[in-house]
Amino acid sequence: MVGASQLALTGRFQTAEYDTDAELLAACRRREMGAFEQLYRAHAARLKSIAYHTAGNRQDAEDAVQETFLKVYRGIEGFHGQSSIGTWLCRICINVCYDLLRKRQIEAERAEPAPLPRNQLALRVQLEDALRRIHPRHRMVFLLFSVEGMRHAEIAAILEIPEGTSKAWLFEAKRELQRLLTETKR
Amino acid sequence: MIFQCADLERALRTAELMPDARRHAERCEQCREQLFQWNEISRVAPQLHEDWESDTLWPRIREALSAEPVRHQRPRTWRWALAIAAMVTLAVALLMPPRAANLGGPELLSDGALREVQQAEAAYARSIDKLAAVAQPGMEQSGSPLAAAYREKLVLLDSAIADLKKNVEENRYNAYLRTELASLYGEKQKTLREWMDYAKSK
């Protein structure tokens, strides 16, 4: 597996040109491709992972990331720096994923999930499976906090919820996951 | 504190109770297992970060971005228009003594006309409120930059409407202020319609 930083070393990407968020934002507003490339390098890995866990597969995740960048390109004038660019990108990506889910009615299919296999799966696999079964809003907070390592303040900004709600949903997510993991064990 | 199995959930929520929970778990197998699993979920979670090589993704995105038509942002003339309208309104309201409203004249309404205008205004405002009730929930939920721009515009319009209504209350016979108010309501209606058309087209 190759991360975004490793890809940068292969020379397929230009070197970083913009040192601050403000410079980067200004360059994005001028539609400089280098600026969008820098945004991609900095955030694509996290966006892909979030999109993967929301959309359910890599192809859809990549489509979602592409759509996210298109929306950013089209709507960059509407971003006034109320949050960091990363937070804004995440919010757009999550909305894109939810739109994708609505279109493909994946949520409807998930409403009645097949029972988990009873054989001993590795905890990582069990957890990934259980994560698909919990409430979408709890899943999103768990994903952003526990998987992607974001802070509750950032999550609150992305999901436009109070920080306390983010903490409460994380607790609910872990409780649901624990219940599902316990059921699998039995 | 005498920690019991039933306290475990509370301990998982509040870090202060965790030392008690750990002590209790040393003696209670069921709680020990639950606590272990709770910690395991947090420990294993970062491994769920999904990363894979996608050499073609950035070239695809770059191509898609390059194919986007260059959009020149339309100047936000409505902001200037609103600001100017509000300033003019305020200036008129301040320069015109409130009692002058009863003196009659080309800009002032008669009592009968005022009643009719008030009724029409109230009906117009109600219809726009109904439109807002339909359009705004979707706009509030959307995280798109366009929705944010529309939200911002509506906040400004509502604020301008509220200011103007206050002035109208103090100058009830002033036809000019009422025309200004109607034009702000018209702008709000147009904004809500534009958003609804956009939301439908998505």
Q: What mean pLDDT comes out for the span A100-105?
A: 78
Neighbouring CB atoms inside 10 A of B151's CB total 15
Which range, B8-12, B70-74, B134-138, is most confident? B8-12
When CB atoms are compared, the residue of B47, B65, B145 closest to A124 is B47
Tokens 């499976």 -> residue? A129
Identify which has the larger pLDDT, A96 or A14.
A96
**pLDDT at residue A150, rounded to an integer:** 95
Tens of pLDDT, residue by residue over A19-32, are 888 889 999 999 99
- Please report, rounded to a whole number, the percentage of residues in chain A having pLDDT higher than 70: 81
For the residues B166-195, what does the mean pLDDT come to? 82
pLDDT at A185: 67
In chain A, whose CA is at the least distance from the CA of B55? Answer: A7
User: Which domains, from first to last, does chain B contain?
Assistant: 5-45 (no CATH), 52-201 (1.20.120)
Sort out which chain B residues have CB atoms less than 8 A from A78's CB and list them: 144-146, 148-149
Express each pLDDT in B43-71 by its tens digit.
999 999 999 999 999 999 999 999 987 65
For chain B, the average pLDDT equals 80
Look at residue B71 in the predicted model and tell me its pLDDT: 58
Q: Does the pLDDT of residue A10 top 50, yes or no?
A: no
pLDDT in tens, A33-91: 999 999 999 999 999 999 999 888 999 999 999 999 999 999 888 888 878 899 999 99
Q: Reply yes or no on whether the pLDDT at B106 is more than 50.
A: no
Of B93 and B40, the structure prediction assigns the larger pLDDT to B40
Kindly state the DSSP code that residue A160 receives in the 8-state scheme.
Answer: T
Concatenating the DSSP letter of every residue in A52-103 gives HHHHSSHHHHHHHHHHHHHHHHHHGGG--SSS-HHHHHHHHHHHHHHHHHHH
Least CB–CB distance from A178: residue in B37, B60, B65: B37
Chain-chain contact of A44 with B68 (C-beta, under 8 angstroms): no
More confident: B75 or A52? A52
Q: How many CB pairs under 8 A join A and B?
A: 119
What is the C-alpha separation between A14 and A34, in angstroms, rounded? Answer: 7
Task: pLDDT band for B95, please (50, 70, 90 cuts).
Answer: low
Q: Which of A66, A64, A44, A67 is nearest to A55 (CA)?
A: A64
pLDDT score recorded for residue B119: 82
In angstroms, the CA B119 to CA B102 distance is 20
Lowest-confidence pick of A109-113, A137-141, A143-147: A109-113
Assign B184 a pLDDT band (cuts: 50, 70, 90).
confident
Q: Is the pLDDT of residue B152 over 80?
A: no
